[in-house]
Amino acid sequence: MTRAVGCPASESLEAYLAGDSVEGVREHLEHCTACQTAIERLQREQARFLKEFPPQRFMARVEQHRRSLRPPVWQGIGAATLAIAAALAVIFVLPRNDSGPPPMALKGPTFVVLRKSASMSEPEPAGRERPLRPGDAVRFAYQAPRDGYVAVINRDGTGAVSAFVPFHGSDALPWKAGDQALPGAVELDDARGAEWMILIFSDRPFALAPILAQVQQTPLDRTPAVSCASCLVETLHLPKEP
């Protein structure tokens, strides 16, 4: 990508236009007519865009989309919810298609995925008997063996990989041994096929990009491979039905 010497990246100019604090851009614009011209063009295009797609229209589409999904009211994970998970004690996992090791069965609520649909009053642990469904709100609970850092990576049935905890984050979350409910809830889309939920715990901070790459590079018919130094990895393969 060609860029004049001394000029900031186009993304930096765009961030400046939007009002973000971007070091050095204001000073640069004082003496660079090319970048000033670029900013002015972006301003004109932005004004045209907001005239064609005004905020009221956008908000109306958002409300329409939300009504169509009927998002569940999440009551929050409390001790009662984890008690349900504890009572179940075993989380079932789909058998794999390859000739590898037998399916995993985790005992005890170390890593739990809780699902809640619009029609449910209480969340329940997801599993073979309780498949995930499109539109479900899922939350995660994890009992760490000690203080450290945690992340949850998802690979859906189409192979799309993303960080669920922290959501679209770049680094693992600090996590205390006594904490249980991971922050945030994720609403599942309509991608078909079972969902892999992969929890990674480490004593040390770690970036998510290398983990995402490893999961992405694992063939779809294989268990996502995650390898990181001094990490604990717990993997759940959860069925998903329409």
Partner 1 sequence: MADSLRELYERYGYLVFRRCHALLRHRADAEDAMQEVFMRADRYGRRHEGSTLSWLYTIATHVCFDAARRRGRAEPTAPSHLTLVDARSEGTADDGDVRALVGRALRELDPVTCEMGVLHHLGGFTQEEVAERTGYSRKTVGRKLEAFDAVLRQRTEVLS
Binding site for partner 1 (CB under 8 A): 1-3, 9-12, 14-15, 17-22, 38, 42, 45-46, 49-50, 53, 55, 58-59, 61-62, 65, 158-162, 166-170, 184, 186-187, 189, 191, 207, 209-210, 212-213, 216-217
Q: Are 224 and 214 in contact (CB under 8 A)?
A: yes
Residue 153: closest CA among 193, 105, 113: 113
Min dist. Cβ of residue 95 to partner 1 (A): 26
Closer Cβ to partner 1, 86 or 135, answer by number: 135
Q: Are 188 and 195 in contact (CB under 8 A)?
A: yes
CB-based contacts of 32: which residues, under 8 Å, 6+ apart?
4, 6, 7
Planar angle of CA 238, 146, 175, nearest 5 degrees = 65
Dist. CA 237–CA 229, nearest whole Å: 23
Min dist. Cβ of residue 228 to partner 1 (A): 14
Min dist. Cβ of residue 76 to partner 1 (A): 15
**What's the first-to-final CA gap in the chain, in angstroms?**
44
Closer Cβ to partner 1, 35 or 199, answer by number: 35
Closer Cβ to partner 1, 95 or 222, answer by number: 222
Min dist. Cβ of residue 140 to partner 1 (A): 13
Closer Cβ to partner 1, 9 or 90, answer by number: 9
